[in-house]
Chain A
């Protein structure tokens, strides 16, 4: 049984290696893998989960190759990943505010990793749409237009998500509970 399957895999591997060269579509998909991993890592703050998301994204993209008629492959891939992550969160039915909030009123102020952990916790506090918008703009360098397409909303909505995300992170990093009003 196993040897029959192995033979089949071997044969197809051979055909792939000699006859068919990778299409430019697949090259473009492949070129985006590192950035997809980065975005997924920041979205989930979990390396393993992030690569699962990327894998599902790639499987879907490759399966839909015949449906892709030009256009921005990068935006399309980020759209798939964003949707898959949204589905994941929906299925988790997780509350956007996690226990981290209560357990860590003030950001860590010591240790070499403190900066990285702070920003991770701050990202944790955001609702998913805001986190997506911020990461797509700041980490992936996408334009507001592209983010609007990925999120399926007007540019104005992207900008207000960005504004809310930044305001919340600032409050958190300034060391105040998000619930408290800022007093200056």
Chain B
């Protein structure tokens, strides 16, 4: 059974054209997808294609003026507002895009303890903290650091640590390679892959196709708010003949290592 199932998800925003005329601006329409335990699903798309909106819809983090349609299920149970509030931060974890999502006024250690407490798995001892940090090659002293003292790679590893202290089953990583060099990207991706190998489900949202393909099992390509392609990761190979959707092929061929070629889709 799929861990997360999304059927016909749509997201639109209420906006005022004039003081009395309200219009709905549709941003995501009719997205259906399933994520299974033990797999990495890549969600790829140009900026503005609706990738992050989808993640925020799953987490229940959309702003007040959003209208959400469709059905989401987690372990077969309807994922409504109430269920989202129960699951977010405990069974479902989001690794946000940037360091600015960490609390600037709290130390790393405090924030890790909060994450653990939110998931109702509080950290009992200083040893717990040290072990958590050590898993991600972080010195024990890092727990006393404030977010602005961290490099981008360290901050990303701390956010990974937060998802492990809450032992979530579904991990959504929003642009995990943004702002990281190749070495740190590889470290973060290796961790995400290891979560899947341990039986969890991982959704990686990224515009960096080449990097994501190294760990993804399946790839969903969003374009202007709808699903433009649904491919197996190993079909992104050679000249892309095994790709089903023309748009997937044109994205693949546009990569510099694949010829920078122009293919109409």
Chain A complexes with chain B = no
